[in-house]
């Protein structure tokens, strides 16, 4: 069993010119947001979860329901590799998430 910790979500480019209202789900459970984000902004996520195998991290924009902005798969075998950066690039958006797997 491992634990994933989500640290910082950074917005490099929003999906809309007026900014995004985003949230993060880990395996279909909301763990962060809804927060407003614009180009160049970073937000501390501060979430950890024990898991086995893998977890899926999804980023959504809430403007018209829940528009997906991308997803990453975090695997247990990433444990011990230090902090990593996952990239979300859908719907013209570009976000990165710093995370780490331990255990």
The DSSP code for 65 is: S
Q: Whole-angstrom Cα distance, residue 16 to residue 19?
A: 5
- Sites in the chain below the pLDDT cut of 50: none
pTM of the model: 0.96
Judge whether 76 and 101 are in contact, CB under 8 Å. yes
Can you give the pLDDT at residue 37? 97
List strands edge to edge, sheet with 54-61.
29-37, 20-26, 54-61, 67-75
Can you give the pLDDT at residue 63? 75
| pLDDT tens digits, one per residue of 26-55 | 999 999 999 999 999 999 999 999 999 999
φ, ψ of residue 80 in degrees (nearest 5): 85, 0
The DSSP code for 7 is: E
Tokens found for residue 100: 């780490």
Domains of the chain: 2-102 (2.60.40.150)
């Amino acid at each position: 069993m491992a634990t994933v910790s989500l640290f910082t979500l950074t917005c490099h480019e929003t999906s809309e010119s007026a900014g995004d209202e985003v949230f993060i789900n880990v395996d279909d459970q909301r763990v962060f947001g809804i927060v407003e984000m614009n180009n160049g902004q970073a937000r501390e996520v501060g979430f950890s979860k024990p898991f086995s195998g893998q977890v899926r991290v999804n980023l959504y924009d809430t403007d018209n329901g829940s528009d997906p902005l991308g997803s990453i798969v975090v695997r247990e075998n990433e444990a011990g590799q230090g902090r990593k950066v996952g990239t979300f690039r859908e719907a013209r958006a570009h976000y990165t998430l710093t995370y780490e797997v331990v255990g």
